[in-house]
Amino acid sequence: MTTLTFGAPDLPDGARWRSLRGASGEWLHPATGERTLSSFTSSSVGGWDEMLPTITACRVPHDAGFDDWSDHGDAWNRPWEGDADDHWVDVAWMRLRRRIMSRDASLHLSYTLSSTAPEDRPVQWVAHPQFSWERG
């Protein structure tokens, strides 16, 4: 069994994890470039981000019109509140909460998404780790 160790999430930087280490070394691709707040794909790449309320740019029906959601959503580029083991971010009418619990020899991630929207709304969420890899 491989033991993995997470570094502390960077709460001001979208709760991004920059490190996930195992016996063989670092598993996450190191963040490269400068972090921007306007475009995920133009921003620094690496680490582990959370995507919400969408994965790709899209138009979502809302009332008589539409909401335009940005590529990779808006959870990755906002400061999160809380502490290293229990933190959350508010995006539009939603709150995404991530709890990290260590039990025995394992680490559990628990996610909760709550909504204050008066009607059902479609959303997409994904944990977005960017793993390092070597050819071969």
pLDDT confidence of residue 35: 64
Count Cβ neighbours within 10 Å for each residue of 86-102 and write b for 16 or more, e otherwise.
Answer: ebbbebbebbbbbebee
Number of folded domains that form the chain: 1
What would the pLDDT profile of 84-136 be if each residue is shown by its tens digit?
Answer: 999 999 998 999 999 999 877 778 899 999 999 888 888 899 999 989 887 76
Q: How far is CA 131 from the centre of its chain?
A: 14
Please report whether residue 135 resides in a domain: no
Domain range for 89:
5-130
**pTM of structure:** 0.84
DSSP-derived secondary structure for 72-88 = TBSSTTS--EEETTEEE
Please report whether residue 136 resides in a domain: no
Per the listing, tokens 């190191």 go with 30
pLDDT confidence of residue 15: 92
CATH code, 50: 2.70.98.10
